[in-house]
Amino acid sequence: MEFHAVHANHMAINWQALADHNGDAPLAEAVLEEKAYIIGRVGLSMLACGTGAWRIRSAMNTVAESLGVVCTASIGLLSLDYTCFENGKSFSQSWSLKNTGVNTDKLALLEHFVKAFPEHYSQLSGNAVSARLDEINGTPGNYTPVALGLAAAFACCAFTFLLGGGPVEMLGAFCGAGVGNFVRVKLLHKKFTLFLCIFVSIALACATYALAVGALEALFHVSSNHQVGYVCAALFIIPGFPFITSGIDMSKLDFRSGLERLTYALMIILVATMTAWVIALALHLQPGNFPPLDLAPGVQLALRLVASFCGVFGFSMMFNSPVAMAGTAAFVGAIANTLRLTLVDFSGLPPAVCAFVGALTAGLIASLLNSRRGFPRITLTVPSIVIMVPGLYLYRGIYNFGAMALDDASYWLISAALIVIALPLGLICARILTDPEFRYCT
């Protein structure tokens, strides 16, 4: 059999060579080109972590101002175009990423780097600053594929309970999500393309759920009604970070970044739900309502707090948050999501309004903790409300479209759209109330 070498579609950049214009002289005394390379690399490094355009531009501005440079930038999902001005001269660059993802640990390191830049790094040489960025960008992940599989398993297990599932559905989701995310991470490490990773991981997650619940039916004679929760095993694929940051970007009129992130998130949702639909047809599964649990209100409240904490902790691990950061985000999510679910049950308010209140609460609590713990605000807020994204609604909408039940499909998709809109609005309102820099357009 003849094998063909696979050539990289994106050529590597020799960052160290680009930063070697001024020897060991301080970066503040360097030529414009060298300053511009460092400014752009800071922005590109933050873009690779999955944060929004407003935060990236703010970081680039901080570095540029400390070097006596004016910088303008246009930021997308994978690309960064910017121009630097100094003493009547200008220098423009256009860079792009190979792929996108979320890494909250690296994001925290980069934010600390940017805060320390004016007093410390601007006095170092371009080589030294570039070496520090190499060190940050080369930071290994905090978790192995097995750990990330378990994180998804616990997160989706908790998600299943919050959606109304019982022990059987929770066990099925645990098995399915664990296998699905483990395989997804292994495929990503081998650089397989996005669609292939989604196809394989979602198909395995749904099939594993069906096998696990089928085994319980055969061994313990549980009801076949528990098959309806198979989609819960696939909820680890929900692109919560790009969903939420797209709304935040558009609120600051960064439409290029916002629309690209929204398109990316919708693309993942569409491919995942279509894959789950095909697997459901092959295995003769269909979504439906969970059997009632009949829990006392006090017991249900306590279990929701625990499940919300576990779910957000698992999703935070999947974003590469360290344990302390993940625990803080889980604390925020436990309070905010439990409040949201309680409002849905007892207030009579529409689910979208309850989602807005939940996201607003998460944003306010995260702002308070941010000043004490020092974690970037987005590393606490987005993981804490990812568990509120209505992945089950989105799947039911696509499933009913495939079955040509257009009334049901419209109901689920419109309900999901209202909640998805409400979540970033809640975070935006919290940010306006607590962050003076975000409050103004300048």
- pLDDT of the residue at 43: 95
This prediction's pTM: 0.91
Reduce the DSSP state of residue 81 to 3 states and report it. strand
Q: Which two tokens stand for residue 331?
A: 């604390």
CB distance 126 to 37 below 8 Å: yes
Q: Considering just the CA atoms, what is the radius of gyration of the chain in Å?
A: 23
Distances (CA, A) of 47 to 26, 237, 264, 434: 26, 20, 14, 24
- pLDDT of the residue at 369: 86
Q: Which two tokens stand for residue 345?
A: 């049950």
- pLDDT of the residue at 363: 94
| Burial group, residue 31, by CB count within 10 angstroms (0-12, 13-18, 19+) | middle
Give pLDDT tens digits along the chain (442 positions).
444 556 666 666 666 566 555 567 788 888 899 899 999 999 999 999 999 999 999 999 999 999 999 999 999 999 999 999 998 899 999 999 988 999 999 999 999 999 999 988 888 888 889 889 999 999 999 999 999 999 999 999 999 999 888 899 999 999 999 999 999 999 999 989 999 999 999 999 999 999 998 898 888 877 777 777 888 899 999 888 898 899 999 999 999 999 999 999 999 999 999 999 999 889 888 777 777 888 888 999 999 999 999 999 999 999 999 999 999 999 999 999 999 999 999 988 999 999 999 999 999 999 888 767 778 888 899 899 988 988 888 888 888 888 888 898 899 999 999 999 999 999 999 999 988 888 887 6
CB distance 50 to 77 below 8 Å: no
